[in-house]
A = this chain, B = another copy of it.
Amino acid sequence: MLYPTDDGARYELTSPTAMPKAGGFLWNRRMMIQVTCRGYATAQFMQPEPAKYSYAPNLEAKTFMQPEQAYYAHHPGRFFYVKDEETGEVFSAPYEPVRAGVDRFAFSAGRSDLRWTVEKLGIRVELTLGLPVEDVAELWTLKVSNLSGRPRRLSVYPYFTIGYMSWMNQSGEYRPDLGGIVASCVTPYQKLQDYFKNRLFKDKTYFLCENAPDAWEANQLAFEGEGGLHAPAGLEGERLAGGDARYETPVAAVQYRLALDADGSSQQRFLFGPAYDDAEIAAMRARYLSAEGFERAARDYDAYIAKGSGCVRIETPDKELDNFVNNWLARQVYYHGDVNRLSTDPQTRNYLQDNMGMAFVKPEVARAAFLHALSQQEASGAMPDGILLFEGAELKYINQIPHTDHCVWLPVCLLAYLDETADYAVLDEPVKGHDGAVKSAFERISMAMDWLLHKRDHRGLSYIEQGDWCDPMNMVGYKGRGVSGWLTVAAAYALNIWADICAQRGATTLTEHFRAGAAHMNASANTHLWDGAWFARGITDDDVKFGVAADSEGRIYLNPQSWAILSGAASEEQRKLMLAQVDTQLDTPYGVQMFAPPYSKMREDVGRVTQKHPGSAENGAVYNHASVFYIYSLYTVGETERAFDALRKMIPGPDLEDYLQRGQMPVYIPNYYRGAYKEYPRTAGRSSQLFNTGTISWVYRCVIEGLCGLKGDAKGLGIAPQLPRAWPGMKITRQFRGATFQVEVTRGAVDKVQVRCDGVELPQARIENIEAGRSYSVQVTVP
């Protein structure tokens, strides 16, 4: 039902009903679109804040992207009705809204396009969606072929949702001069100053046809009539009625009346998107709406995507893993890093981690981003809750809530960049703050580390205020006293990393200062938070320790354990105890839960996490961003099997049908799989269907540095593959500092990793003096 193509570069789904929400996503520098296999679409573009051109049937709240999005009949989508003019029979491609049942169905998700093939009534409908690189537009190709062996008369009706645009000046009509339907509105506003903000908004939605249609309808209700979307009255007549929308919900529906020979076919191209005015619509038409325009756009887009193909390819006994790593993982990293999730104010921790991923894809982008983030540091050393990417951007949603963890991510993420590039010069870059003060990046990160040391209570534990990385835990410390167990060890980890970097620069005093700080925090964690077999999650304002054995809900949290491993707070003995508890209490067939048991009701001293549904989002979910740190920490201590087991559960497959049932095409890792495995087994494992997640760059890092064991450092490339027990070997192609490493890993009778490079046995499992442009052939033998 779900198949990869031979090279894993596409995934094909052959049933529209197996998992209705499964789909794919495309993006470019200005927009993104997520489309389900059945034709529902969620698209947004930046002007500069996220905006829509295909709307819900009502005035939707502006909010962050909702997980596990609910679809419904009038959800925005792109559909193609087909009517047999002889029998009156109707179906629709891809599948909605008619849901007629089809003879053949294939939804195919590629890296740079989405395609469908649908057959019914002896007719084949082929659809392709592509995007340009810089403009906001959907490029649709429709091909209708006659498979029936006899001449056919058909009507084909592309039907694209425009929806309820606004209570201000909404309208729609067919424009012969522009060659399509154009709907207009004014983005709703009430405050005068918003008029000036909004006046250049692209408030028009166009649906342009390469060839003039035979009929059209621009009025949603007129199109549907009493039939409803599954059987629109508009299709009953010989021609669509040619109506307009005047402060009525507009729609883009057109009709082509086709007479196909026995083996005939017909192809049409359409352009769908937003524009400021008629001139822009005409320009978009001229630029794209032709065979040549579509081909050029597809070539340019392929080239754009190819720039994000990353630095590693693998060949292992696990083909689905290979497919995902080689075709999709870097793509998702690239999406995050290249367009910053199409946000104007990414959360600081997300921005830093997304750009950590870019260190493996486009390091120059990561470099600029780290410096840009530092330019928004506060004079206290604190990092703001979000990084503003544009003049005029504002902190929104969760970025208005004070969190105390942002500084942690500076050294943690920068380290990956330094390891990958050895570009230590970045530390000496001058960075001008918003107060005008110019300090080097090194000085700024040192300030951030001091801020972490400062923001602690008398016990040496880190204040949580209204949240740390786990943002819904808003009530632990809002009175100013509560502390975070995770943040304490996370800060210790960050300080240790930074101390290492200070040491590398020969900054001895600072090295000792930060190393001592880390040690003190680790000691404080052990004194106050070790609960016998794991570390507590924190201590509330009212001095209640939580995430401890005495709790019946939220008893054990994953993050404090993972980061205690990273920070060194956990001894080997403690680690064994912790891992056993993680196995018992948190591990599930779908990955490792963030905590367990999930909260079933509000706990007023912990906060909003308890108001998420058990198993969803952060309330006991397999929250991949947390899980991946567990995996990362396991790789750092050589817990190879546990690490791979958790990683394998996170990455699509090996059982694609099961993965599909959980709501997902294997083209990205979602931000969570539902948890609450014991409490709600029916829904456990479901995908959030959100591709925005800090998880992804850490998965890439885990694959590169952990599984493949090909991690850079100041002088070269270390080699320490961590093959799961069941594998006899693997092959890796690694791009690193301009060179290419063809690595073949096999098992052998060795007691530690042995490496031959270009036929020469190396004294240590590392390669130094790397020459850019060279290709290295590396044989690795592992025990």
Show the binding face of A for B, using Cβ within 8 Å: 17, 56-63, 66-68, 70, 72-75, 99, 164, 167-171, 186, 188-192, 195, 220-221, 226, 228-230, 246-249, 397-398, 400-401, 466, 474-475, 478, 607-608, 611-617, 674, 680, 682-683
Contacts and interface: CB of A to CB of B under 8 A. Distances in A.
Given A195-B474, A247-B683, A73 B70 contact: no
Contacts of A189: 608
A682 B475 CA distance: 56
B195 A608 contact: yes
Given A228-B230, A246-B613, 14 more contacts: A59-B66, A60-B61, A70-B220, A73-B74, A74-B74, A168-B611, A189-B608, A190-B400, A191-B401, A192-B401, A192-B475, A230-B230, A246-B615, A247-B616
A38 to B, nearest CB: 10
Nearest to A616: B247
Count the copies: 2
B226 A466 contact: no
Contact of A169 (B66, B164, B188, B611): B611
A68 B247 contact: yes
Name which of A57, A188, A680 has the most chain B CB atoms within 10 A of its CB: A57
18 contacts: A57-B72, A57-B74, A57-B75, A58-B60, A60-B60, A63-B188, A67-B167, A73-B73, A74-B74, A168-B611, A169-B612, A169-B613, A170-B613, A190-B397, A190-B398, A246-B614, A246-B615, A247-B683
**Interface SS of chain A: helix, strand, loop or mixed?**
loop
Nearest to A171: B613
A243 to B, nearest CB: 9
Contacts of A401: 190-192
B57 A59 contact: no
Contacts of A616: 247
Contacts of A188: 63
A150 to B, nearest CB: 31
B246 A191 contact: no
Contacts of A168: 608, 611-613
Nearest to A680: B246
A70 B58 contact: yes
Contact of A56 (B58, B220, B674): B58
Contact of A466 (B58, B75, B192): B192
Contacts of A400: 190-191
A59 B60 contact: yes
Contact of A99 (B59, B220, B228, B475): B228
Name which of A226, A613, A617 has the most chain B CB atoms within 10 A of its CB: A613
Contacts of A220: 70
Contact of A73 (B17, B58, B72, B226): B72
Name which of A72, A186, A398, A612 has the most chain B CB atoms within 10 A of its CB: A72
Name which of A17, A192, A221, A397 has the most chain B CB atoms within 10 A of its CB: A192
A222 to B, nearest CB: 11
A700 B616 CA distance: 54
A615 B195 contact: no
Contacts of A171: 613
Contact of A613 (B62, B192, B247, B612): B247
A513 to B, nearest CB: 34
A52 to B, nearest CB: 12
Contacts of A248: 68, 70, 683
A613 B680 CA distance: 50
Nearest to A601: B169
Nearest to A56: B58
A202 to B, nearest CB: 15
A63 B190 CA distance: 11
Nearest to A396: B190
Contacts of A228: 73, 99, 230
B99 A246 contact: no
Contacts of A62: 61
Contact of A475 (B195, B474, B478, B683): B195
Nearest to A57: B72
A462 to B, nearest CB: 19
Nearest to A611: B186
A75 to B, nearest CB: 8
A534 B169 CA distance: 28
Nearest to A59: B61
Contacts of A186: 611
